[in-house]
Amino acid sequence: MSLPALTAVRERLRIAIQKSGRLSDPARALLASCGLSWRESRDRLFCYGESLPVDLLLVRDDDIPRLIADGACDLGIVGRNVLAEQVSGRESSQLVPAFREWRALGFGACRLDLAVPEDWIWRDASQLAGMRIATSYPGLLEQWLDTQGIDAQIVPLTGSVEIAPKLGQADLVCDLVSSGATLAANQLKPVLTLLQSEAVLAGPVKPFTDARAELAALLLRRMDGVLRLKDSKLLLFQAQRQTLPALMKLLPDAEPPTVMPVDGTDTLALQALCHGVMTWQRLEDLKHAGACGLMVLPVERMLA
């Protein structure tokens, strides 16, 4: 399928997501929960939006910021690490970045960490002076070294950064870490975090001035609704009126509840939208404070 021509004015919104990798499935799931559906094309690089005029482009994550900067895509879902690295690249070459983070999306969490061989005794960053640091994030690392006033040598690598010390290419690494298992498997330990990352919605710095403005606003509204409800549950229970103050203290993350009297008794039936995680322990605590008939219901959608 050939892509619709790029014109200055567009009626459809185009979102770039990772074709295959850590962010592809959760990015698709998030967009689907915002009510988007697509017709798959045979080459599977472009998916035509069916429920709304919002199309998907499936690409390598590193290409997403540039696609937005070039206007080939309107929005993208990408790691903050990739976005920040490319912003740093544009800043150092005096280019004003054309893209920025619009929303943090709450998945794909990881850190950009400095990691040293396990047998190093780590004291502070001054130990890095004169060292060789392997990384796929030379822009972010250079920025950080500058702010710390440290003169170290950056060894840019595109992959397999964590084995660079073993191969004698570097003394330490600056790499993405989530569980730390890959570092440990290579006898490295994390000592400093340069950036806390997660998947973000990236978009242009300048607002849209055509039909895309309304589409982007609609998508953001739905996305905010979905993100807000991530851990939210509807809690139903009954309680005696006098236990209510104690119960509400246990529900600091709840919206003001709907309270209904149960006919002819002093019992109340309540329903409250709670935004925090509803663990078994929280339910036990509520029960001990006087709640009964506790029921936790999933919340699929909300439009404030």
Which parts of 42-71 interact with ligand ATP (CB under 6 A)? 60-62
193 closest CA partner among 137, 113, 295: 113
213 closest CA partner among 12, 22, 1: 12
Residue 110 touches which of ligand ATP, Zn ion, none (CB < 5 to 8 A by kind)?
A: ligand ATP
Cα-based torsion angle of the residue sequence 165, 171, 175, 181 in order, rounded to the nearest 10 degrees: 50
CB of 6 to ligand ATP, least distance (A): 22
236 closest CA partner among 226, 247, 225: 247
Contact 17, 82 (CB under 8 A): no
- Kindly state whether residue 272 participates in binding ligand ATP, applying the rule CB under 6 A: no
| CA-based torsion, 222, 224, 230, 231: positive or negative | negative
- 77-85, 120-128, 258-266, 279-287 -> range binding ligand ATP (CB under 6 A): 77-85
- Range 215-250 burial, b when 16+ CB lie within 10 A, else e: bbeebbebbebbbebeebbebbbbbeeeebeebbee
- Kindly state whether residue 108 participates in binding ligand ATP, applying the rule CB under 6 A: yes
CB of 69 to ligand ATP, least distance (A): 17
CB of 180 to Zn ion, least distance (A): 20
How many chain residues interact with ligand ATP (CB under 6 A)?
15
CB of 21 to Zn ion, least distance (A): 7
- Kindly state whether residue 196 participates in binding ligand ATP, applying the rule CB under 6 A: no
- Kindly state whether residue 83 participates in binding ligand ATP, applying the rule CB under 6 A: no
Per-residue contact flags (x/-) with ligand ATP for residues 4 to 33, judged by CB under 6 A: --------------x--xxx----------
